[in-house]
């Protein structure tokens, strides 16, 4: 059993780790641990890699396991966390709204999603949040009926990373 006490870095954001990742992958020494979003906040976790390595994570309080995080590296292997894609709802705001209208729409959407205690990601004119199934979108369409014509609601299956720098994030 391998014990990991810190995240080394991210293979997508760090050029040195990215190069090592590519080399390890090419030479068959890369191992992947699949992490669900709900698991990504846990500081104590036991998982098996895709090649059978038993890994215990004993991370510092407040740690967050991101997609591409390097958990272990040696000449013989590199173990990287890969986040599992999940179903998300996406609310896209129509462009060219007056500020008063924008405040009304943003407040209404925030109220609806907040009442359902969903973490969110805000990116420009889109709000993304996890859903249990695509059929759940009809609930959001019903709850946001008064905004019809001002927003578009759709779904996707992605690695969801909520905004963690604001009070709107709540882990479940």
- The pLDDT, as a whole number, for residue 58 is 97
In 3-143, where does DSSP find H-type helix? 15-26, 99-115, 137-143
pLDDT, tens digit (0-9, with 9 covering 90-100), for 5-62: 999 999 999 999 999 999 999 999 999 999 999 899 899 999 999 999 999 999 999 9
- The pLDDT, as a whole number, for residue 82 is 97
pLDDT, tens digit (0-9, with 9 covering 90-100), for 71-93: 999 999 999 999 999 999 999 99
- The pLDDT, as a whole number, for residue 124 is 85
Domains of the chain, by residue range, sit at 2-83, 86-158
DSSP character at residue 156: E
pLDDT, tens digit (0-9, with 9 covering 90-100), for 104-144: 888 999 899 988 888 999 998 899 999 998 889 999 999 99
Domains 2-83 and 86-158 share a fold: no
Maximal C-alpha separation, the chain: 59
Are 120 and 166 in contact, with CB atoms under 8 Å apart?
Answer: no
CATH classification for the domain delimited by 86-158, as one of 3.30.300.130, 3.30.43.10, 3.30.70.260, 3.40.50.300: 3.30.70.260
Helix %, strand %, coil % for the chain, to 5? Answer: 25, 35, 40
Topology (CATH) of 2-83: HSP40/DNAj peptide-binding domain (2.60.260)
State the pTM of this model. Answer: 0.78
């Amino acid at each position: 059993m391998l014990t990991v006490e810190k995240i080394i870095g991210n293979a997508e954001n760090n050029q040195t780790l990215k190069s090592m990742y590519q080399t390890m992958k090419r030479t068959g020494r890369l191992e992947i641990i699949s992490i669900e979003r709900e698991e990504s906040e846990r500081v104590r976790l036991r998982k098996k890699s895709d090649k059978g390595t038993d890994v215990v994570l004993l991370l510092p309080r407040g740690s967050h396991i991101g997609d591409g995080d390097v958990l272990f590296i040696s000449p013989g292997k590199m173990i990287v966390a890969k986040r599992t894609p999940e179903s998300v709802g996406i609310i896209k705001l129509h462009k060219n709204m007056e500020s008063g209208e924008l405040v009304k729409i943003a407040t209404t959407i925030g109220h609806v999603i907040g009442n359902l205690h969903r973490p969110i990601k805000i990116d420009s004119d889109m709000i993304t949040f996890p859903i249990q199934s695509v059929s759940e979108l009809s609930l959001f369409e019903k709850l946001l009926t008064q905004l019809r014509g001002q927003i578009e609601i759709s779904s996707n299956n992605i690695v969801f990373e909520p905004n963690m720098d604001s009070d709107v994030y709540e882990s479940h």
